[in-house]
Amino acid sequence: MLAAILSIGGIGLVAAAALGVAAKKFAVEVDPREMAVLEVLPGANCGACGLPGCAGYAKGVVEGTIAANLCTPGGAETVEQIAHILGIEAITSEPKVAVVLCQGDNQKATAKYRYLGLEDCNAAQKIADGPKACPGGCLGLGSCERACPFGAIEMTAEGLAVISRAKCTGCEKCVAACPRQVIRMAPLDAMTHVLCNSHDKGAAVRKYCQIGCIGCNICKKTAPEAYVIENFLARVEYQHHLDAAVAVEKCPTKCIRDFSTGYPQGSSFPPPTVPLKRDAAV
């Protein structure tokens, strides 16, 4: 009995001593600031900063190899906290949100052919440039929805991607996932957008979409500062986005949407409010 206690206890003591020595000798020094930065990062590992995850970004920021304001999901608040930890001046960038520039769902836009292949926009786009007659419209197979790390994108029953302005953190993953460049980044406070991505002439657009921009210039005439027309497609000049809302009613095809009145048809998201929290940080 005694021999057993002594031998087991002895092994325990020797092993403890060895572990103690090893812990001191092979200790990995971690900059305490790195841990502090990691604490304030959102922890989504979305990769918006360009690094594989939040830990990598924290290391990069502390080592000074990467700018401190690249965490778009964290927004201005996170940048300020990082700046506080590192004792540097906070340079926040304007908060941005992704917008799907299309409202042509399966009801409103015509199909070029019946697509029965993979549920993936990139695969569909390779077959005769996509099943939609419109060369720029949303294909509605949900590649962006699957790419979004924040669950901010929903596909409507009629096959249109809608991005929640409340949940979107501006990481741009969906922009990279879309084969048709129909998702664009826009300032968070700009609520009015031309939701069309077709550069075809008006007559062609009318043939395949009920809600596409026909390049009629009426918005430009109503609010000359706020709109530009390029290649038969209007877009909002975001420096003057506050003036853009007046043209919403004038648009003959209703392709201009003021998001404060709600999301495109079929979306289940509650109508967005004009952002205040992240806006104030600018």
Partner 1 sequence: MTQKTFAGGLHPPDSKQFSAHKPIERCPLPAELIIPAAQHIGAPAEICVAVGDLVKKGQIIANAKGFVSVPVHASTSGEVIAVEPRLHPMGRPLPAVVIKPDGLDQWDESLKGNDPEQLDVATLKDLIRNAGIVGLGGATFPAHVKLSPPQDKTIDTLILNGVECEPFLTADHRLMLEESARLIDGIKILCKVLGISTAIIGIEANKPDAIDFLSKECAPHKIAVQSLKVQYPQGAEKQLIDACTGRQVPSGGLPMDCGVVVQNVGTAAAISDAIRLGRPLVERIATITGPGIKEPKNLLIAIGTPLQHLVNQCGGLNGEPAKIIMGGPMMGQTQLSLEVPAIRGTSGVLIFREQDLPQMKASPCIRCGRCISVCPIHLQPTTIATYARLELVDEAESYHALDCIECGCCTYICPATLPLVQSIRHIKGGIMAKRRKL
Q: Which spans of this chain sit near partner 1 (rule: CB under 8 A)?
A: 112-113, 116-118, 120, 122-123, 126-129
Q: Is the dihedral angle over the CA atoms 8, 14, 15, 17 positive or is it negative?
A: positive
Beta bridge partners of residue 228, listed in sequence order:
235
Amino acid at 282: V
Minimum separation from the CB atom of position 181 to partner 1 (A):
16
- Copy the structure tokens of residue 3: 């021999």
User: What is the maximum span of the chain, computed from C-alpha positions, in angstroms?
Assistant: 99
In whole angstroms, the minimum distance from the beta carbon of 23 to partner 1 comes to 37
The tokens for 143 are: 């590649």
Q: How far is CA 266 from CA 48, 126, 186, 237, in A?
A: 29, 27, 22, 27
Nearer to partner 1, 126 or 277 (CB): 126
CB of 122 to partner 1, least distance (A): 7
220 contacts 240 by C-beta, under 8 angstroms: no
Question: By C-beta, is 12 or 117 nearer to partner 1?
Answer: 117
Intra-chain end-to-end CA distance of the chain, in Å: 73
Return the structure tokens found at 123: 């695969």
- Kindly state the smallest distance separating residue 197's Cβ from partner 1, in Å: 18
Question: Looking at beta carbons only, is 59 or 146 nearer to partner 1?
Answer: 146
Could you tell me the smallest distance in angstroms from the CB atom of residue 216 to partner 1?
Answer: 26
Q: Which is nearer to partner 1, 10 or 117 (CB)?
A: 117
Q: Which is nearer to partner 1, 121 or 205 (CB)?
A: 121
The smaller minimum CB distance to partner 1, of residues 123 and 246, is found at 123
Backbone angles phi, psi at 223, to 5 degrees: -135, 80
Q: Report the 10 Å Cβ neighbour count for 128.
A: 10
Determine the residue type at 49: C
Closest distance to partner 1 from the beta carbon of 127 (Å): 7
Closer Cβ to partner 1, 99 or 124, answer by number: 124
Residue type, 218: I
- The least distance separating partner 1 from the CB of residue 135, rounded to whole angstroms, comes to 9
**220, 205, 185, 203: which is closest to 95 by C-alpha?**
185
